[in-house]
Amino acid sequence: MSVGPREDASAAEERAQEEVYMRAALKQARAAAEEGEVPVGAVIVAGGRIIARAYNQRERLKDPTAHAEMIALTQASAALESWRLDGATLYVTLEPCLMCAGALVQARVERVVFGAPDPKAGACGSLYQVGLDTRLNHTFELQGGLLEAECAELLHDFFRDRRD
C-alpha cells in the first residue's frame, strides 16, 4: 500500500505540530534548570491549543508531588473547569513516573507524548505500562521519543553540572 503525497504532507504537518508542543515543554524544562530544579517541563494541549505549562518545582515548593505533570494537570483542570481532561494530550520532556502516570489515568488524559525515557522511574514504558494497563478504569495512548536527544541532553547536562 503506498502513501500518497497528501497523506505524507498531513503526517509531516502533524509531526511538526507535535515538535512545537514538545519545544514548549523544553522551554519549561529550561526554566526549571535555571531555578535549580530537575529540568522537566510539560504542556497540556486541548482543542489544538496549549492550556497548561509547567515545570518541576519540588525544591521551590518543598513538595514531593510538585512534578511538572502534576502542576500542569492542575492548571489544565482549572482552564477546562473540569477534572476530566478528555481529549487532552500531555507533552512532557521525561517519561512520567508512577505518581504522575496514576494522576494521568485519574484525569482521563487521552494521550501522553514524552521525550526521554526514564529507566530508573518511568511508568509509561520503562518500568511499568500504567497508561496501557486495561485493569485500570482508563487507559491512554503513549508515544515516547519525541525530540528524545534534546530532552535527554538537557537532563544529562543538568546532572553533570551538579556533580562538577
List residues with catalytic annotation.
Answer: 69
Burial class (CB in 10 A: 0-12, 13-18, 19+), 151: buried
Spell out the alpha helix ranges (H) of 35-147: 58-61, 68-80, 98-106
Q: What is the separation of C-alpha 48 from the centre of its chain, rounded to a whole number of angstroms?
A: 16
Distance (Å, whole) CA 106 – CA 8: 35
Helix 5-34 / helix 148-163 crossing angle, nearest 10 deg: 20
Check: CB of residue 79 under 8 Å from CB of residue 88. no
Sheet containing strand 111-116, edge to edge, reads: 49-55, 41-46, 89-94, 111-116, 141-144
